[in-house]
Amino acid sequence: MARILITSALPYINGIKHLGNLIGSQLPADLYARYNRGRGNEVMFLCATDEHGTPAELAAAKANQPVADYCADMQKVQTDIANRFGLSFDHFGRSSSPQNHTLTQHFASKLADAGLITEVADRQVYSNADGRFLPDRYVEGTCPNCGYDGARGDQCEECTKQLDPTDLINPRSTISGSTDLEVRETKHLFLRQSAMRDQLDQWIDSKSDWPILTTSIAKKWLHDGDGLQDRGITRDLDWGVPVKKGDADWPGMEGKVFYVWFDAPIEYIACASEWAEANGKSDADWERWWRTDKGADDVKYVQFMGKDNVPFHTLSFPATILGSGEPWKLVDHLKSFNYLNYDGGQFSTSKGRGVFMDQALEILPADYWRWWLLSHAPESSDSEFTWENFQQSVNKDLADVLGNFVSRITKFCRSKFGEAVPEGGEYGEQEQALIAELTTRIRAYEGHMEAMEIRKSAQELRAIWVAGNEYLQSAAPWSTFKSDPEKAATQVRMGLNLIRLYAVLSAPFIPTATASMLSAMNTLDTSWPDDVTEALNALPVGHEFSVPEVLFAKITDDQREQWQQRFSGIRD
């Protein structure tokens, strides 16, 4: 049994996430977690809300709430929506937790002891109109590298160039829009990433199985221009992890907090400690996942994230872990995603454009969305959500192929043999051919899932569903029954066993439908089909079942047009 540690990029606290955020990290991470649990592996799947920084303060002010109350309320909202989408986290924590405060301060102390933190008299942008220093992301302007006019003060989304706010041309405050900005001096702590460039470079070179998207972004940040730069890890803000050296005060850093991008990845580790506390476990129970001196040396650690998060997870967070000199687990595989676009434009949380997770669940159950998003995951390039494509995929894949198969075979059996697996004879040539095809396809499906090739996994799963439909169409038990009821019974027995098999294989993609299929088949047997012949005899003769409700209703043209109209503008 393998041990798999899985983390998804932390969703930010300032509102409900859109479908682009969902497919960029949490949903594919859940797919991988569910698959590995299904194969009998020990899984620890962690995620949390990312709660610090100015966006949280601004969202709280807009909601007329104290920031701590706002974050607590939104964390409950995000937890509820994650549960309704079937995201099977072992723990969904909070970056504002006491555990993360302690661990962030601990790492800062270790890095300082190692000579990797330096105090810098930094020049930061101050907005006279807003009466405050502006964090990097709250300064926008024109990128000096590519000319994009919406570049942020930390990074240009267009060319991914790492920036400082003072690099921007014609900068403006994103809070007020004011251009009445000036640069003032303030002291901050910087992580000496540049001192670790060669070590990080060698570490990234050792990851031969990482996606090209991941390594190319990391290498760009390491080597472009002057190479990897030291990075500020503190900010002049009220809300965040107070700057301390372990549990001691840090002279000159009074009133400052750690930069959200320093503390947020550390929450991956802290989240495991939160899990232990929430479940009455000991420190040893979570440390065996994270400390290589306490059992984590045999753990495979996989991270999932959108491409905009790659630099921080390939460079800054590893620099924190390696620089501490302590035996913490480093990521083994980093699965990154391009962007999912929306109907000719971009999803945007800040602009309220696209379909958001709560809205999606208002109109259709989670499995509809899970299937479309995963089967169209933006792996090798950006992909685009259109309502036409969504309707077509749901109707063809879920309703016509899988749903129709389950409905036809259960209803036919009920009408001719009753609601129990009929006896019939041994599986014949046609059934053996199907078993051979399914064996090949299931092994291919496993290979794609283990390689985290999500679209290929979805294609193979659909092909497995299609194989059953083609068998049913070819065997035609409704015709066979007229001349050879015993043979028809054999064909029906194969069909009913296929439903259980499909439920097991489909569980990572569509867990709610899987539960319905298993319930209808009156079985708790979710054993993985290592031996397909055995799997297709799992439901014995006489085993009772029931005809399920329609698994997937088709999306009508009227519904599609109505939803297209509803989500054509901006969310209120």
pLDDT computed for residue 419 by the predictor: 97
**Cα–Cα distance, 114 to 110 (Å, whole number):** 6
Question: Which residue ranges are tagged as binding site for Zn(2+)?
Answer: 143, 146, 156, 159
Is the model more confident about 570 or about 335? 335
Question: Which residue ranges are tagged as binding site for ATP?
Answer: 349
Domain ranges of the chain: 3-114+194-337, 117-191, 400-544
- Tens of pLDDT, residue by residue over 14-42, are 989 999 999 999 999 999 999 999 999 99
pLDDT computed for residue 353 by the predictor: 83
Share of the chain above pLDDT 90, in %: 86
Q: Decide if 564 contacts 387 (C-beta within 8 A).
A: yes
Residue range 262-286: average pLDDT?
A: 98
Minimum mean pLDDT among 32-36, 133-137, 378-382, 389-393: which range?
Answer: 133-137
- CB half-sphere exposure, 285, CA atoms < 13 A: 14
Is the alpha carbon torsion for 235, 236, 238, 242 positive or negative?
positive
Residue range 119-143: average pLDDT?
A: 89
Among candidate residues 349, 356, 370, 381, the one with its CA nearest the CA of residue 510: 370
Collapse the DSSP code of 197 into the 3-class scheme (helix H, G, I; strand E, B; otherwise coil) and give the result.
helix
Residue range 143-160: average pLDDT?
A: 92
Among candidate residues 174, 413, 460, 160, the one with its CA nearest the CA of residue 311: 160
Residue range 240-248: average pLDDT?
A: 97
In the numeric block, the tokens 């000579």 are attached to 115
Residue 528: how many CB atoms within 10 A of its CB?
15
What are the φ/ψ torsions at residue 484 (nearest 5 degrees)?
-145, 75
Amino acid at 128: N
pLDDT computed for residue 131 by the predictor: 86
What tokens were used for 40?
């009998």
pLDDT score of 571 more than 80: no
Give me the numbers of helices (H) and strands (E) for the chain, helices first please.
22, 19
Question: Which residue ranges are tagged as binding site?
Answer: 143, 146, 156, 159, 349
Share of the chain above pLDDT 70, in %: 100
Q: Please enumerate in sequence order all residues whose Cβ is within 8 A of that of 177, keeping only pairs 6 or more positions apart, or say none.
A: none
pLDDT computed for residue 136 by the predictor: 84
Give the torsion through C-alpha atoms of 513, 518, 522, 528, to 10 deg: 180
Average pLDDT, whole number, for the chain?
95
pLDDT computed for residue 572 by the predictor: 64
DSSP label at 420?
B
- Tens of pLDDT, residue by residue over 292-302, are 999 999 999 99
Residue 480: how many CB atoms within 10 A of its CB?
17
In the numeric block, the tokens 């630099």 are attached to 311
What are the φ/ψ torsions at residue 561 (nearest 5 degrees)?
-65, -40
**Cα–Cα distance, 220 to 155 (Å, whole number):** 13
Burial of 499 (0-12, 13-18, 19+ CB in 10 A): buried
Among candidate residues 407, 354, 350, 398, the one with its CA nearest the CA of residue 374: 398
Residue range 132-158: average pLDDT?
A: 90
- Tens of pLDDT, residue by residue over 199-210, are 999 999 999 888
- Tens of pLDDT, residue by residue over 45-98, are 999 999 998 889 888 988 999 999 999 999 999 999 999 999 999 999 999 999
DSSP annotation string for 39-65 = TT-EEEEEEEEB--SHHHHHHHHHTTS
User: Which residues is 6 bridged to in the sheet?
Assistant: 45, 302
- Which CATH number, 3.10.620.30, 3.60.20.10, 3.40.50.620, 1.20.1270.360, labels domain 3-114+194-337? 3.40.50.620
**Cα–Cα distance, 511 to 517 (Å, whole number):** 10
In the numeric block, the tokens 């002891």 are attached to 113
DSSP annotation string for 228-264 = SPPEE-EES-SSS-B-EETTEE-TT-TT-EE-HHHHH
Residue range 392-403: average pLDDT?
A: 98
Among candidate residues 359, 345, 478, the one with its CA nearest the CA of residue 416: 478
Domain 117-191's class? mainly beta
Same fold flag, 3-114+194-337 and 117-191: no
Residue 449: how many CB atoms within 10 A of its CB?
23
Residue range 339-348: average pLDDT?
A: 88
- Tens of pLDDT, residue by residue over 502-514, are 999 999 999 999 9
- Which CATH number, 1.10.730.10, 2.60.40.10, 1.10.10.60, 1.10.3330.10, labels domain 400-544? 1.10.730.10
b/e burial code for range 143-181 (CB count within 10 A of at least 16 → b):
bebeeeeebbbbbbeeebbbbbbebbeebbbbbeeeeeb
What are the φ/ψ torsions at residue 254 (nearest 5 degrees)?
-60, 140
pLDDT score of 162 more than 90: no
